[in-house]
């Protein structure tokens, strides 16, 4: 999905138009899935479902902006600050206990992010597509994306007690589509055949990812299912290198290792 988002942006397609296209495809698939289960699309806890949709939409804007303006691996890695944010939010709003593993996760995440943001002063024999220093605005937006993901995760956790997973997934594009269309921003650009294909693929890959993760969480423990999702960072490094000639810096590997270690400690500690 991220590769398609980054690629379609090179055609001059603005972020909100990418989100609108993604939401339209996802909305059609989600609606069909809810009807297949013979459920009401409106759900039970409408205020919380709408809140989940709004938070998800704002988060999506941040994540897509980060993917477009940062190297793919860096944008993906910063997104994995969300376990630390989730722990703090769950402590405040759900009164969940903070374990030692979570404290270690938060500390390692903060140190790792600090290291990641250091300019790369080590010269490499390979030509690097990324600048020596990551753009500050993009990094800040990416961090807000991780924070938004954490808020959405807490909302989904609360909704899972009263709503079917398909209804929760449906509300995301249901809210995102009108927001993306009506929100003031750059004018929409009529896509050519190739960029239209990429926009459709953004929606399809998004849906595949959401359904896959939802199914995994239904058939295995949350900690084990979430741990597998960290492979995404490896995919991001490989795909960034293949499609965009992006070579991660030395600071990426050092800071990234700390963030990933913190996230995995938080996920797998009890095992």
Q: What is the pLDDT of residue 118?
A: 66
Q: Residues 89-143: pLDDT tens digits?
A: 877 777 767 778 878 888 888 888 788 766 544 434 333 444 456 788 998 999 9
Given pLDDT bands bounded at 50, 70 and 90, which one contains residue 196? very high
Identify whether the C-beta of residue 62 lies closer than 8 Å to the C-beta of residue 181: no
DSSP string covering the chain: -HHHHHHHHTTT--HHHHHHHHHHHHHHHHHHHHHHTT--TT-S-HHHHHHHHHHHHHHHHHHHHHHHHS-HHHHHHHHTTHHHHHHHHHHHHS-PPPPHHHHHHHHHHHHHHHHHTS---S--SSPPSS-SS--HHHHHHHHHHHHHHHHHHHHHHHHTTTS-HHHHHHHHHHHHHHHHHHS--SPP----HHHHHHHHHHHHHHHHHHHHHHHHHHHS-HHHHHHHTTHHHHHHHHHHHHHH-----HHHHHHHHHHHHHHHHHHHTT-
Q: Which residue has the higher pLDDT, 178 or 215?
A: 178
Burial of 36 (0-12, 13-18, 19+ CB in 10 A): exposed
Residue 208 CA to residue 200 CA, distance in Å, equals: 12
List, in order, residues 6 or more apart from 214 with CB less than 8 Å away.
165, 169
Q: What is the pLDDT of residue 249?
A: 80
pTM of the model: 0.81
Q: Residues 7-27: pLDDT tens digits?
A: 999 999 999 999 999 999 999
Model confidence at 74: pLDDT above 90: no
Given pLDDT bands bounded at 50, 70 and 90, which one contains residue 219? low
């Amino acid at each position: 999905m991220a590769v398609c988002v980054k690629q379609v942006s090179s055609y001059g397609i603005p972020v909100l138009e990418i989100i609108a296209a993604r939401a339209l495809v996802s909305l059609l698939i989600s609606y069909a899935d809810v009807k297949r289960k013979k459920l009401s699309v409106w759900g039970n806890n409408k205020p919380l479902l709408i809140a989940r949709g709004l938070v998800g939409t704002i988060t999506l804007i941040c994540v897509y902006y980060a993917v477009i303006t940062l190297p793919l691996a860096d944008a993906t890695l910063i997104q994995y600050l969300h376990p630390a944010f989730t722990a703090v939010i769950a402590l405040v709003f759900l009164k969940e206990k903070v374990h030692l593993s979570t404290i270690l996760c938060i500390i390692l995440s903060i140190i790792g992010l600090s290291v990641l943001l250091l300019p790369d002063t080590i010269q490499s024999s390979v030509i690097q597509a990324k600048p020596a220093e990551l753009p500050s605005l993009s990094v800040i937006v990416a961090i807000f994306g991780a924070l938004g993901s954490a808020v959405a995760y807490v909302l989904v956790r609360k909704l899972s007690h009263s709503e079917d997973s398909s209804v929760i997934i449906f509300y995301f594009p249901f809210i995102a589509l009108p927001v993306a269309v009506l929100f003031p921003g750059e004018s929409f650009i009529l896509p050519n055949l190739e960029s239209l294909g990429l926009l459709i693929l953004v929606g399809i890959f998004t849906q595949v990812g959401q359904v896959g993760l939802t199914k995994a969480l239904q058939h295995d423990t949350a900690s084990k299912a979430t741990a597998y999702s960290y492979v995404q960072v490896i995919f991001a490094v490989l795909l960034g290198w293949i499609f965009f000639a992006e070579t991660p810096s030395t600071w990426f590997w050092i800071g990234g290792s700390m963030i990933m270690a913190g996230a995995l400690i938080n996920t797998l500690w009890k095992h």
